[in-house]
Structure formats: structure tokens, C-alpha cells
Amino acid sequence: MESTVIRPRKVFSLKDVKELWQYRELLYFFSWRDLKVRYKQTAIGIIWVILQPFVTMVVFSVFFGQLAGMPSDGVPYPIFVYTGLLFWHFFSGALSETASSLVGNQAIITKVYFPRLILPISSVVTKFIDFLLGATILVAMMIYYGYTPYLSGLLIIPLLLIITFFAASGLGMFLSALNVKYRDVRYVLPFFIQILLFVTPVIYPASIAGRYSWILALNPMTGVVQTARAALLGATSINWILLLISAIACFMLLIIGVVYFKKVERYFADII
């Protein structure tokens, strides 16, 4: 027989992790719902998921690759930019989804108890599915351009995904919790994401920053994008220091996100 004690609560504890695990099915159902519902009553449905990064890649290739002649570490620009875009879309999409995840589920939050952390995490999971679909285009492009990734390169991809996942979750938790109190977040976020795109080496190679590239690496996506290109396309060799800085930055984001989220979580139902 389980028994619950309800007391004035304050901090994050191991109990929260256990609880998240208990509610993993709900996490699945929320992600499943978002995927199911998203493209209802659209003509081409799920193709949108692939179309968005693909069209962005074409536009960037024309303007930055062809017209502006952006350097691309000796790799054809379309595949160079698509590798970056794929991870970038995962991150930025997850960020904007998570930020509105609590406010969007207001009706449920005020009526039912479940670990609230599930909502932002499930939004990131949804975007991860999008990533997998988008990755098929990358595979097609790699075959087209004749790139065979090294086995060691493939092994590092899961690590990159974990970094992206937790960086987006951490920042997303922070933003979603902030959004409950200050709805300004939804107006600020689009600008923030746009600016973030320019300080992430998606359109350009990190080498452009020269010896200051470690500053760029404070943005966890820098390490991720740069390493992905090195691993999949062999554009450069893997810069482990850059990756380490990004991993640490990601970890910090996650800590800040979880701590802030847990701190304000108890007021969600009262002020949302």
C-alpha cells in the first residue's frame, strides 16, 4: 500500500526523479498526443516536418553558399548547412515548444496532479521525433554527396543528441516556468532564438571565429554542431575541448532549469 504525505514543499529531491520514472507513461502519452494532433486537418501532414528544414537548407544554400560564398570547411555547402540546421531545429524547436508547454496545458495543471516536469520534457521528446524524420534527408544527402561516416563518428552522435536534449530541456524548463508568471517570454523568445542562431555556427563554420571560438562554445549548440560536422562529414577533426565546454554549459543549463522549475512549481496552479 502506497502512502503519501502532503506537506509544504520546497526543494528538489531524489523523490522527484523516482516520481518522473513512475509517470513515464504519461510522458509518452503527452508526446504522442502532440505528434498526433499537430498536423490534423493538414493536406500533407507529416511531410511538413521534413519540408521545413529542407526548404531552409535550400534558401541558405542559395543565399549564403552561392551568393555570399560562405566558407564551409571544404564540404559542399548544402550538406554543411543541413547538418547544422538539423541539430539547430531540434534545439530551437524544442525551446519554443517547451516555453509554452505549461501555459498551453493550463487546464490540466489546475485539475490533475502529475510531476509538472513531464510537460517540458515531453515537448523535447516530440521534437526529437522530428529530428529523426529530418535525419532521413541528411542520410539521403550523404549518399548523394558520397560521404561515408566513420564508425567512431557515428558513436559520438548519441552523445551530441543527449547534449542537445538536456540543453533544450534545461533552458526550456527555465523558460516555461518563467512564462507561467511573466507571459513576456513568448514575445521575447522568437528574437532570442533568432539571435542564438547567429551565435551558433550553423550558417558559418566555427573556424571563422579563430581563437575566440571557445566563447562560442559556451553556447552548447556550438560544440554539438561542430562535432556533428566533424563526425559525419569529416569537415575538421573533432575538437574535444570545444565539446567539453559545451557539455559543461549544457549541464549548467540543466541544473539552472531544474532548480528554478522546482522552486516555482508549487505556485503553478495558483498563478497560471
The residues of the shown chain that bind another protein, judged by CB under 8 A, are 1-9, 25-26, 28-29, 32-33, 36-37, 40-41, 105, 107-114, 180-184, 266-267, 269-271
What grid cell was written down for 217? 562554445
Q: Which CB sits closer to another protein, 28 or 63?
A: 28
Rounded CA Rg of the chain: 20
In whole angstroms, how close is the CB of 65 to another protein at the nearest point? 39
Which of 113, 151 has the CB closer to another protein?
113
CB 206 within 8 A of CB 226: yes
| Minimum CB distance to another protein, residue 30 (Å) | 8
Q: Are 70 and 64 in contact (CB under 8 A)?
A: yes
Question: CB of residue 7 vs another protein: minimum separation in angstroms?
Answer: 5
Q: What is the dihedral of CA 158, 162, 163, 166, to 10 degrees?
A: 170
Provide the grid cell at 75: 564540404
Residue where the block lists cell 518522473: 20
CA-angle at 169, arms to 164 and 173, nearest 5°: 155
CB of 255 to another protein, least distance (A): 23
Position of cell 529523426? 132
Q: Using CA atoms, how far apart are residues 236 and 230, in angstroms rounded to an integer?
A: 5
Q: Of 27 and 79, which has the nearer Cβ to another protein?
A: 27
Q: How far is the CB of 29 from another protein (least distance, A)?
A: 4
12: Cα separation from own chain's centroid: 23
Nearer to another protein among residue 37 and residue 44 (C-beta): 37
Q: Is 146 helix (H, G, I), strand (E, B) or coil?
A: coil
Closest CB to another protein among residues 23, 214 = 23
User: Taking the complex as a whole, how short is the minimal distance between the CB of residue 206 and another protein, in angstroms?
Assistant: 33
For another protein, the closer of residues 135 and 256 by Cβ is: 256
Separation between Cα atoms, residue 191 and residue 246, nearest integer Å: 22
